[in-house]
Structure 1
Amino acid sequence: MSGLQLTDVIKRYGQTQVIHGVDLTIEDGEFCVFVGPSGCGKSTLLRMVAGLEETTEGTIEIGARDVTRADPAERGVAMVFQTYALYPHMTVEQNMGFGLKMNGHPANEIKEKVSEASRILKLDDYLARKPVALSGGQRQRVAIGRAIVRGPEVFLFDEPLSNLDAELRVEMRVEIARLHNEIGATMIYVTHDQVEAMTLADKIVVLRAGYIEQVGAPLHLYNDPDNKFVAGFIGSPAMNFFDGVNTGGTVTVPALGGATMRAPASLTADGPVTVGVRPNKVALSDGGTHTVDLSERLGGISYHYVNAPDGSRIVVEAHDQHAPAPGSKTGISFDVEDAYFFDAKTEQRLR
């Protein structure tokens, strides 16, 4: 297996630039997830690594080999797409071994590699079946098996779970995590689902409009975001953001009942500032002027949506089954030490 190095990678379509000078190192055996909203460039960047999109400028190295201009077949990568792309007239075994057969590998080698991939993916009972007789999750496992038998240096996954229902998504997420643990391969995984990113990744790359916003371990990005975008994208439900005002080193937040807190050291000028608090750090309290809009009770956890007097929406995460009546009044409490501060203009984190 091999690592990956992207150096000042740029992609243009005519005069339109969609990837802007990306620098990224993915270590050998690392599970790296590209995450971001639709149109942020994550799939384009993945396809550039695969060789399915031409790199306009910069270099891409896999295992210290410059593959920037190499054909896809010469890069040592295997890609699993959103669609399964299985041959309907072939059995599972034939689908998994077809690529090796076309490349002239001997039959006994193909059988051995398909057998090993089938064991890893728990497909032994389905080898004689055709795709029509498989569930969506089983078909996706076959597509992953087809990649495994090639023995690539890097596995590429382009939103492989987006066609599955909620239960199968959880099941396949566990399967992919187990697969990575077993074979230890370098994997790059694209998703817009930050829950998938948080649960699968060793390293998350947060993209927006073709730029990398932040790179780091899942909990590092959750606990120490560099800007408002990362803070709002990583974490479910998203972080609450409020307009605040800094006056002489004291920040006042009208949406939180005029709560005051000490400004961070880097905030020296008076004026507007954005304050962020995660839903699990906010609690309902007796009395107050906030209005309960609705509650979602999920069993052991509840989400309460509360409107502040100034019209701001606050999401409160509670670990109980109590739900205040819609339209009732409530207070909001939180520990000021749990607040994040962001520049109101640049949206960069203030520490």
Structure 2
Amino acid sequence: MSGVKISNAIKKYETVQVIHGVDLEVEHGEFCVFVGPSGCGKSTLLRMIAGLEETTSGTIQIGDRDVTTADPADRGVAMVFQTYALYPHMTVAENMGFGLKMNGVPKAEVKRKVNEASQILKLDDYLGRKPKALSGGQRQRVAIGRAIVRGPEVFLFDEPLSNLDAELRVEMRVELARLHKEIGATMIYVTHDQVEAMTLADKIVVLRAGNVEQVGSPMQLYKNPDNKFVAGFIGSPGMNFVEGFAKDGSVDCAAFGNGSINTSVSLPAMGGAVTVGVRPQHLTIDPNGDGLIVDLVEHLGGVTYIYLNATNGERIIVEASAEVEAPALGSKVSVAFDPENMMLFDAKTEKRLR
């Protein structure tokens, strides 16, 4: 098993460029997640690593080998797709060992590797079944097992849980985390679901429009985002953003009342428009306040989400404990927060002000 190094990778389809000079290093044994909205280039970048998409320029290394122009079969990678792609007429054991069989691996060796993979994935009781007799989660485990038996240097996952229902997605997230811990393989995983990214990753790569916005551990990106896009994408529910005006070491924003909020953040000397960001759990409701109208209340058992509308049309979400009595729909309230939990972003560039 090896790490992956991408240097100034560019992908173009005729005149359309979809990957813009990506530089990235995935360490040996790391679980790296590519995350971003639909169309950001995460699957294209993964397919470039796999060799399923040609790299227009730049280089891709796996271990100490330059595989930029190598055939997919020669790269030492195994890919698990969103669709299971299992042969319906074959048993689980036959599906898992099919690739080895086609490569002329002796039957005894195929059986040994299939049995090893089935033990890791807890598929021993299903080896004689055909795919139609399996649940969605079991089928996905078979697809992963088919990758494991190949003994690749790097595992590549392209949104493998997207076809599963909510309960199975949680179950398979746990299975994947356990699998990574058990075999210690280098894994690169694509998802648009930031919850999957936060729970699985050692390293997250946030992509937007073919560019890497930020790379870091889940909590680094959550606590210290470089820009508004990353701040809003990482965390559920997303960060609240409202318009503000900064001057002389303080910020005014209508949605949080007309009072000035002092801050130690380095603000533009001449003042100017900023975006104020506060996460829902850092806000508290003042039922005696005014200026925000309660639009919706969601009770989720342990927590309650309260949706507020400001007079200027901005929306704010507050995360509260289920023990706190929620305000009535249509009532007027205000919110309070510790200024230390406030993040400020340049209104034009969206870069974080620090």
TM-score range, shorter chain: over 0.9
Among residues 306, 317, 326, which one is paired with 1:323 in the alignment? 326
Aligned residue-pair number:
351
5 Å matches for 1:323-342? Answer: 323-342=326-345
Conservation of the 8 A alpha-carbon contact between 1:267 and 1:350: no
Conservation of the 8 A alpha-carbon contact between 2:6 and 2:24: yes
Q: Are 1:117 and 2:117 an aligned pair?
A: yes
2 CA distance for matches of 1:280 and 1:331? 15
For residue 287 of structure 1, give the secondary structure of its aligned residue in structure 2: coil
The AA in structure 1 aligned to 2:306 is H
Question: 1:260, CA displacement in angstroms?
Answer: 2.0
Question: 1:212, CA displacement in angstroms?
Answer: 0.1
For residue 270 of structure 2, give the secondary structure of its aligned residue in structure 1: coil
2 CA distance for matches of 1:154 and 1:326? 52
The AA in structure 1 aligned to 2:321 is H
Conservation of the 8 A alpha-carbon contact between 1:46 and 1:156: yes
Deviations 1:298-322 (A, max 9, x none): 1111100011122210000011253
1:45 maps to what in 2?
A: 45
Any gaps of 5 or more consecutive residues in structure 1? Answer: none
1:19 maps to what in 2?
A: 19
5 Å matches for 1:75-154? Answer: 75-154=75-154
2 CA distance for matches of 1:253 and 1:300? 31
Deviation larger for 327-336 or 210-219: 327-336
1 CA distance for matches of 2:58 and 2:312? 48
Question: 1:246, CA displacement in angstroms?
Answer: 1.3
Q: Percent identity?
A: 71
1:57 maps to what in 2?
A: 57
**Deviation beyond 6 Å, 4+ runs, structure 1:** none
Conservation of the 8 A alpha-carbon contact between 1:7 and 1:60: yes
Conservation of the 8 A alpha-carbon contact between 2:247 and 2:267: no
Conservation of the 8 A alpha-carbon contact between 1:82 and 1:160: yes
1:310 maps to what in 2?
A: 312
The AA in structure 2 aligned to 1:72 is P
Question: 1:330, CA displacement in angstroms?
Answer: 1.3
1:172 maps to what in 2?
A: 172
Q: Are 1:296 and 2:298 an aligned pair?
A: yes
Q: Are 1:207 and 2:207 an aligned pair?
A: yes
Conservation of the 8 A alpha-carbon contact between 2:247 and 2:269: no
Conservation of the 8 A alpha-carbon contact between 1:249 and 1:268: no
1:35 maps to what in 2?
A: 35
2 CA distance for matches of 1:74 and 1:196? 30
Conservation of the 8 A alpha-carbon contact between 1:40 and 1:207: yes
1 CA distance for matches of 2:209 and 2:272? 29
1:347 maps to what in 2?
A: 350
For residue 120 of structure 2, give the secondary structure of its aligned residue in structure 1: helix
For residue 19 of structure 2, give the secondary structure of its aligned residue in structure 1: strand
Question: 1:217, CA displacement in angstroms?
Answer: 0.2
1:273 maps to what in 2?
A: 274
2 CA distance for matches of 1:217 and 1:267? 30
Question: 1:154, CA displacement in angstroms?
Answer: 0.2
1:258 maps to what in 2?
A: 258
Any gaps of 5 or more consecutive residues in structure 2? Answer: none
Deviations 1:35-68 (A, max 9, x none): 0000000000000000000000000000010000
Question: 1:247, CA displacement in angstroms?
Answer: 2.3
The AA in structure 2 aligned to 1:280 is Q
1 CA distance for matches of 2:39 and 2:310? 33
Conservation of the 8 A alpha-carbon contact between 1:249 and 1:267: no
Deviations 1:184-243 (A, max 9, x none): 000000000000000000000000000000000000000000000000000000000011
2:184 maps to what in 1?
A: 184
1 CA distance for matches of 2:120 and 2:247? 61
Conservation of the 8 A alpha-carbon contact between 1:297 and 1:323: no
For residue 169 of structure 2, give the secondary structure of its aligned residue in structure 1: helix
The AA in structure 2 aligned to 1:99 is G
Question: 1:130, CA displacement in angstroms?
Answer: 0.1
TM-score (norm 1): 0.99
For residue 40 of structure 1, give the secondary structure of its aligned residue in structure 2: coil
Conservation of the 8 A alpha-carbon contact between 2:202 and 2:218: yes
1 CA distance for matches of 2:102 and 2:258? 69
1 CA distance for matches of 2:318 and 2:20? 37
Conservation of the 8 A alpha-carbon contact between 2:277 and 2:342: yes
